[in-house]
Chain A
C-alpha cells in the first residue's frame, strides 16, 4: 500500500535511496526475461531519492506535502521524461530525449514520486496485446504465464505492476483500452480518467481526441493517491478540464450502499468466455451483497457502432499525428543524399513497424477527398450517438459493468493466427468508454485457467470517485475470489 510506504519514508524507517536501488535492481533483472522496460532513469531516480532523504534527515520537510514521497513510479514510453529517451515504443523515435517533463510526470515528481524508467508498449499504442512493439524491441511477457501476452498497449506497465514485489505505481495512457486491457490480463487495477481530467501535455499523441493519461496500481487506494496528484487543469493543454479536483481518497471505505450498477446483459453472453462471464457475475453479486443495486441494461448503439467509429477516428488522427516522424524533427536521423520526400519515405518505410504502417494507410484513406464524409465525419457523428446513449443510461444508473476483455490473456501462438480485424474486435468493450471519454476502471475479479479476469466499471464524465469507491469496496468484499 503506497500510503504506508510514504509514511515509512517520511518517518525515516526506510530510506528512499535504499528502496529505489532495490526496485531498480529488481526491474533490471526482471527485464532480462520479461521485457517490461524501454529505458531506465536510475541516475535521475537515485539523485531524487538522495535529495528526499536529506530533506527528511534535515527535518526541512512539511509532512503534509509530498503525498508520494519516495514512491517508485514508472512512465509509459509515450509520456515524456526530461532527458530520458522517450520513443513511444517506435524505432523511428530512437534517440529522442525530450527537453521537458510531461505535466503528469512533473506533478508526480512535485508530489515526491521517483521516476525509475519508461515501460514498454505497442508502437505508438497500436495494439490490444502488447505484441506490436516497434522494430527491434522485445515483446513483454505476461507475469503469470510468460507464454501469454501482457495486453496492450501499456504492456510493460501492466506486467511490471503485477510482477514487482515493491510499492510502485505506473503512469500510463489509454486511447481505446490501453490501460484496461493489460490491467485485465495481468490482474491489477487499471484506471483511465475522463478525457481532459489529466493534462496530455508531454504525451506523444496517438489520437488527440481519444488519448487519456491514467494509472496502473496494485490496489484502488493507490490509484486514488496518484489521481490526486495528476488531475487538474493545465495551461499547457487547452483540452484539459477546469472542473474542480476532489480528494479521491475520500471515496475509500465508503461502501456501495445506494449505488446502482447497470449490467450489460449482452456483454455476459455470446462471444465472452464462460469463466470470464461467471467471474464478472460473481463480483457483481458481491457488490449487490454489499449494498449495491444491479439493473440489467442494454448498450446497443455503443456495441454496434463503437468499434468501427473508434478505429476510423483513431486511425485518421494517428495518420496525421505520425506525419511528423520523418527522420528530421525527432528521433532517428540518417545521411540525406536524396530529395527530401524520398528521404522521408526511406526513413518512414525502414523504421515504422507493420501495424503503424497499416493504421497510417487506413487513416490516410479515410481522410482522402471523397471518403472523409463517409468515414471520418460519420464516425464523429456516431460518437455523438454513443455519448448520448451513455448519458441516457447514467440518468438511471451510477455505473455500467461489462467484462474488460471477452477472454483471458491469449498465448502468443494464438494471436499469431489472428487477422488484423480479429485483433481489433478484441476491444469490443473497451472502445465504448474510450470513444465517449468516460472514466473507467479494471478490477481483477477472479481467475480462469489460472489467469486473471477483469471487470470494467464505467462512470459518467468526471465521476471518478464513484469508481474508486466501488473498486475499493470490491477489494474488501470477503468472498473475493
Chain B
C-alpha cells in the first residue's frame, strides 16, 4: 500500500500509455499538478477505520441469475451489421502482427 508516492510527469506518461492516450508536454504538466492536488485531498480516505471491513463492490447484494440453457432467438448477421459504417459481412478485429 502506497499513497505517499509523488505524482511525477513520468507516472502520468506511463498511465497515459497504458490508457492508450497521447499527451502533449503541456497536458503532462497540467495533469501532474491536478492529480497531485486531487490525490492529496483524497488521502483522508486512508484514515477510514477499514481494518477487517469487507469491501462492497456493489451497493446491494447481487445474486447470479441463471437461466435455463435453451436456445433463444438472437440477431441475424444481417440485423447485427445493419447500422455498421463499414459493412463487409464480417466483424472486423485488430490485425495480428
Complex contact B15–A385 (CB within 8 A): no
Q: Indicate which residue in B3, B22, B85 contacts A375 across the interface (CB closer than 8 Å).
A: B3
Q: What is the CA–CA distance of A43 and B3 in the complex, to the nearest angstrom? A: 54
A217 shortest CB reach to chain B, Å: 24
Interface string of A191-235 (1 = CB under 8 A from B): 000111000000000000110000000000000000000000001
Complex contact A421–B38 (CB within 8 A): yes
Complex contact A209–B21 (CB within 8 A): no
Q: What is the CA–CA distance of A69 and B60 in the complex, to the nearest angstrom? A: 33
Q: Indicate which residue in A99, A312, A380 contacts B83 across the interface (CB closer than 8 Å).
A: A99
Complex contact A304–B44 (CB within 8 A): yes
Q: Indicate which residue in A319, A333, A368, A379 contacts B45 across the interface (CB closer than 8 Å).
A: A379
Chain A residues with Cβ below 8 Å from B56 are: 380-381, 383-384, 387
Q: What is the CA–CA distance of A269 and B26 in the complex, to the nearest angstrom? A: 40
Cβ-based interface call for B87 (8 A): no
Cβ-based interface call for A377 (8 A): yes
- Decide yes or no: A384 and B37 within 8 Å by CB, A196-B62, A378-B48 being known contacts: no
Q: Indicate which residue in A328, A358, A384 contacts B31 across the interface (CB closer than 8 Å).
A: A358
B28 shortest CB reach to chain A, Å: 10
A284 shortest CB reach to chain B, Å: 26
- Decide yes or no: A209 and B49 within 8 Å by CB, A344-B20, A421-B38 being known contacts: no
- Decide yes or no: A384 and B20 within 8 Å by CB, A308-B45, A374-B1, A437-B60 being known contacts: no
Complex contact B2–A361 (CB within 8 A): no
Q: What is the CA–CA distance of A421 and B45 in the complex, to the nearest angstrom? A: 15
Cβ-based interface call for B89 (8 A): no
A211 shortest CB reach to chain B, Å: 11
Cβ-based interface call for B88 (8 A): no
Complex contact B82–A99 (CB within 8 A): yes
Q: What is the CA–CA distance of A210 and B15 in the complex, to the nearest angstrom? A: 24
Stretch touching chain B among A23-31, A150-158, A345-353, A471-479: A345-353
B65 shortest CB reach to chain A, Å: 5
Interface residues in A396-450 by Cβ distance below 8 A to B read: 419-421, 424, 435-438
Cβ-based interface call for A357 (8 A): yes
- Decide yes or no: A348 and B21 within 8 Å by CB, A195-B60, A328-B92, A374-B1 being known contacts: yes
Q: What is the CA–CA distance of A374 and B65 in the complex, to the nearest angstrom? A: 32
Complex contact B41–A421 (CB within 8 A): yes
Which B residue's beta carbon lies closest to that of A346?
B22
Interface residues in B54-93 by Cβ distance below 8 A to A read: 54-60, 62, 64-65, 67, 75, 79-80, 82-83, 85-86, 92-93
Complex contact B19–A319 (CB within 8 A): yes
Q: Indicate which residue in B19, B42, B80, B83 contacts A364 across the interface (CB closer than 8 Å).
A: B19
- The contact sample of 27 A-B pairs, CB cut-off 8 A, is A98-B83, A99-B82, A195-B59, A308-B42, A309-B48, A312-B45, A323-B19, A326-B20, A328-B94, A333-B86, A348-B19, A348-B20, A349-B23, A352-B21, A357-B19, A357-B21, A361-B12, A374-B46, A375-B42, A381-B54, A383-B56, A384-B53, A384-B54, A385-B48, A385-B49, A419-B37, A421-B34
What is A's interface to B at a CB cutoff of 8 Å?
83, 95-99, 194-196, 209-210, 235, 238-239, 241, 301, 304-305, 308-309, 311-312, 319, 323, 326, 328, 333, 339-341, 344-346, 348-349, 352, 357-358, 360-362, 364-365, 368, 370-371, 373-375, 377-385, 387, 419-421, 424, 435-438, 461
What is B's interface to A at a CB cutoff of 8 Å?
1-3, 11-12, 15-16, 18-23, 27, 31, 34-35, 37-38, 41-42, 44-46, 48-50, 53-60, 62, 64-65, 67, 75, 79-80, 82-83, 85-86, 92-95, 97
